Amino acid sequence: MAVDAKQTPERSDSEQRPAYKLRAAEGEDAEALYHFGRALLAETSFFLRGPSERARSVDEMRLIIERFRELPRHLLLTAWLDDAPVGEAVVMGGELERNRYTATVGVGVLQAHTGNGLGRKLMEGLEFFAHKADLHRLELTVMSHNPRALRLYEQMDYQVEGTRRESLYIDGAYVDEIVMSKLLETGPE
């Protein structure tokens, strides 16, 4: 089933300040999202990729956006304040027959915008899309030294499935990843 990325909730959050607008990334967002991504990855070590491992150019970011828009079970959801991206969330659905109801998800918010519910809003946007795309299982990993994210995922009913011990090497130390998932009431009939 093809799912139009425009089916994601486009809204301003009027319950809190500032008012963020959530929407699917578009080609013309490439430059802003390229710079956002570099800033996001430079300010924290909570992501699998480092700053030089994301899109290496605006053109590459544009290609990434196009790919997300073309694949029916993929979404690059962005959060904007005024005309600047301040957060993003991704859904990467399985592309094979046997894993097409499973997706890997992730979320990232600039530090200046954490602690005010934006991460939760992005996760809710991902789940809205996942229901529309008939996804059944959402999965993610969170680094063990990121208790704020772990707490958010637990509050959103993600279940811990296990620990990938010392799976990452960051800033001179091995780091565990916590594997989590959530099952949705969707999928094949």
Residue 48 pLDDT: 82
Domains of the chain: 17-183 (3.40.630.30)
Least confident among 15-19, 29-33, 45-49, 136-140: 15-19
Q: Tens of pLDDT along 46-68?
A: 888 877 788 889 999 999 999 99
Encode 94-125 in three state secondary structure: CCCCCCCCEEEEEEEECHHHCCCCHHHHHHHH
Residue 54 pLDDT: 82
Helix axes 118-132, 147-155, angle to 10 degrees: 50
Task: Provide mean pLDDT across the span 177-181.
Answer: 98
Q: Tens of pLDDT along 125-157?
A: 999 999 999 999 999 999 999 999 999 999 999
CA distance 34 to 38: 6
CA 54 to chain CA mean position, Å: 14
